[in-house]
Structure 1
Amino acid sequence: MEIRRATTVAEVTAAGHLFDTPPRPEWTHRFLDAPGHHLFLAYDEDGAPVGFISGVETLHPDKGVEMFLYELSVAERQRRRGTGRALIRTLAALARERGCYGMWVGVDTDNKAALAAYGSAGGRYEGEFSSVNWDFS
């Protein structure tokens, strides 16, 4: 397995099957160009994309910078082989390199696979929290 930073819309589009819905070129371009936005792709031995992780640096006047692990996805056939853990560690290493004081992710409490992946990569479960959303669509 190889992990590389995504730098082009074509790379992300080729990994479209890993996303909830196909990535839109204009949003992908904007994400890749935005400072503090990061996306890494994992490739199998044949060069096929089998996972991705995205993160966004968040900055606050009294807290400094932390990394928000926005999304992690691993192809079904590649799960339980260390791909998710490797992607998480890649983003965590970048966060440290960029001076982030920490990294966090929101995850559904019944998502056992995600909780296991985050835990195996050094994450610490801190209990439940509520999510409040605004829908502007």
Structure 2
Amino acid sequence: MDIRPARTPAELQAAEGLFDGPTRPEWSQRFLAAPGHVMLIAYVDDVPAGMVSGIEMCHPDKGTEMCLYELSVDEGYRRRGIGRALTQALAVEARARGCYGMWVGVDTDNEAALATYDAAGAVDEGVFAMRGWPVAP
């Protein structure tokens, strides 16, 4: 397995099966060009097998932390440690960027995700509630 950062929209398009839907070149370019955004892709025999995205979040009284935005491993490559390796690779990147921590929001009944994050060294920080605002027209 080889984990490397995505740098072009073409790389994201080639890994499109790892995302919830089709990638769009303009969104891909915007993500990749934004400071603080990270996209790592795991390859097995040069085939995209998994991806993790992260976004730095900075606040005046807290400093900078990394949000693990999304993790995905292709069904045919699951249970091989790829998700754990991607999560750990993002944590290494977060440290290299000077982040004081990394966090992820995960559904409490998503046992596979919880096991992956625990295996990657995550610590349970307790139950929280999430609220959202649909702002698209």
> TM-score if structure 1 supplies the norm length?
0.97
- 5+ unaligned residues in a row in structure 1: which ranges? none
Instruction: Say yes or no: does 1:51 pair with 2:50.
Output: yes
Q: Distance in 1 between matches of 2:79 and 2:126?
A: 24
CA RMSD of aligned residues (A): 0.7
For each residue in 1:5-52, what CA deviation from the matched residue of structure 2 results, as whole angstroms up to 9, or x when unmatched? 00000000011111011111111100000000000000112x110100
Task: Indicate the residue corresponding to 1:127 in structure 2.
Answer: 126
Q: Distance in 2 between matches of 1:123 and 1:41?
A: 20
Q: Distance in 2 between matches of 1:127 and 1:37?
A: 26
- 5+ unaligned residues in a row in structure 2: which ranges? none
Instruction: Say yes or no: does 1:104 pair with 2:103.
Output: yes
> TM-score if structure 2 supplies the norm length?
0.97
Give the paired residue count: 136
Q: Please state how far the C-alpha of 1:125 moved relative to its aligned partner.
A: 1.6
Task: Indicate the residue corresponding to 2:116 in structure 1.
Answer: 117
SS of 2:55 mapped into structure 1: strand
SS of 2:135 mapped into structure 1: coil
Task: Indicate the residue corresponding to 1:16 in structure 2.
Answer: 16
Q: Distance in 2 between matches of 1:26 and 1:104?
A: 27
Task: Indicate the residue corresponding to 1:27 in structure 2.
Answer: 27
Q: Distance in 1 between matches of 2:95 and 2:118?
A: 18
Instruction: Say yes or no: does 1:39 pair with 2:47.
Output: no
For each residue in 1:36-72, what CA deviation from the matched residue of structure 2 results, as whole angstroms up to 9, or x when unmatched? 0000000112x11010000000000000000000000
Task: Indicate the residue corresponding to 1:68 in structure 2.
Answer: 67
